[in-house]
Copies of this chain bind each other. A is one copy, B any other.
Amino acid sequence: MAISCGLLAIFLYYRLSTVDNQLISFTEENYLKIIYLLTERHNGNEVSTNQLAEHTQTKAASVSDMLRKLAEKNYINYRKYQGVTLTEAGEQIALSVIRKHRLWEVFLVEKLGFGWDEIHDIAEQLEHIDSKELTKRLDDFLENPKFDPHGDPIPDAKGKMPSVSYQKLSEIPLNQSVVMMGVSVHSPAFLQHLDKQQITLGCDLKVLEISDFDKSYGLLLNNDIRLFVSNEVARNLLVQVQNS
């Protein structure tokens, strides 16, 4: 019986974001989020048009257009042909979207029982839901998690990202005990591959050897099980030395 639905018309393109009350579309939020994540991955270096085209699944021409627009709105620092970084305003929006994405992922796994390989596409939708109060209550309902089901840190309500110091398993010396803390690839195929070998967040790992034959990693899992994983897998497992 509830009818009052009008807002959604406007909402489709633009809505008054709860971040600083700026008008911002889903699409713009997405670009800012992707710029944030790629910048982080490149240690703060500028992100290129082609990289953005790849990750937004659009063409470079479309990206150029959008960058001009985001620069006009002062969400990004844009030097033509040189790539972009986020401004403070752009970063706050990106962090707000990432916060919502990761909180919803926790919800999907912890409350609804989804696997960590099933949640990405749903969280991609939920991350754009615009309600500060909802985000706050969801955060409390989930008991203020600091990490999502992939081990990624969740920014707080003020946009502060917990600092983490993960290393790739491939960079850990032989026989060093480490704890599995995250993954740097989120593809369902990769995550399911880990599931099959019972490699989960929080498990103990030790590299016993690197095979001369195929550079695969011989591991000891939870001080118990011996297994081999490919170099590719070892490079995408994020770990931390115990008690540090």
Contacts and interface: CB of A to CB of B under 8 A. Distances in A.
Interface in A121-176: 121-122, 124-126, 129-131, 133-134, 137-138, 141, 150, 152
Interface string A1-43: 1111111111110000000000001110010011001101100
Contact of A187 (B4, B118, B130, B131): B4
B5 A124 contact: yes
A9 B56 contact: yes
A55 B2 contact: no
Contact of A57 (B7, B34, B58, B186): B7
Nearest to A27: B12
Nearest to A31: B5
Contacts of A133: 114, 118
A74 interface: no
Contacts of A7: 57, 121, 124
Contacts of A6: 55-58
Contact of A131 (B56, B122, B183): B122
B112 A134 contact: yes
Contact of A27 (B9, B30, B58, B152): B9
A163 B192 CA distance: 43
A130 B141 contact: no
A80 interface: no
A216 to B, nearest CB: 24
B111 A141 contact: yes
A137 B112 contact: yes
B129 A114 contact: no
A235 interface: no
Interface of A: 1-12, 25-27, 30, 33-34, 37-38, 40-41, 55-58, 101, 108, 111-114, 118, 120-122, 124-126, 129-131, 133-134, 137-138, 141, 150, 152, 182-184, 186-187
9 nearest CB pairs, A to B: A6-B57, A112-B137, A2-B186, A125-B129, A122-B131, A8-B30, A3-B55, A3-B37, A122-B134
